[in-house]
Amino acid sequence: MASRPDGCTKVRISLTPAVGSADSELVWAEWLEPDIYQVWNVPFFAYNVNIADVVRCSADHDGVPLVQEILRRSGSQTLRLHFAAHAPDAEIERLLALVTERGGVVEKGQRTFWAVGFRSLIALERFAAGIAEAQAQGVLRLDDGYQPDLPLFEPDARAAA
């Protein structure tokens, strides 16, 4: 299991639905106490899990902790930014700068795919207000990290089943 010098380790989030051939995503998390971790990067593919959420994990088959539920939501919000292949680098840089100006953090997947996290819904809405033109021009498509029709890892969801 890989760990970073800052004390973070990887935890696995099951993907529902699977993304291509991937059925899980690894994210950095800080160990807080046995089986309890705090997520410290923006998930690229996992829905309904955000940076700074506190999660409970169980051991996975390969020894990487597997997220079972979210114990405490951070209030953070996640967006995926999908830039058109024809998007000029200057426009991508401008929009990414807008993320940081509005208090967000960015994680690069590739030139045209970025995951961004905001501390609150208000910060996300401030960013969204500044990108309408790019969306209208077909330069940018958003994917909201909150998907109410997908599993939320809520602590009481298992008990109701």
What's the predicted TM-score (pTM) here? 0.84
Whole-angstrom distance, CA of residue 106 vs CA of residue 38? 18
Give mean pLDDT, residues 30-40. Answer: 95
Question: Are the C-beta atoms of residues 135 and 143 closer than 8 Å to each other?
Answer: no
Residue ranges, CATH 3.30.70.870, the chain: 77-144
In CATH, what class is 77-144? Answer: alpha beta
Give the model's pLDDT for residue 152: 60
pLDDT in tens, 69-90: 999 999 999 999 999 999 999 9
Give the model's pLDDT for residue 158: 32
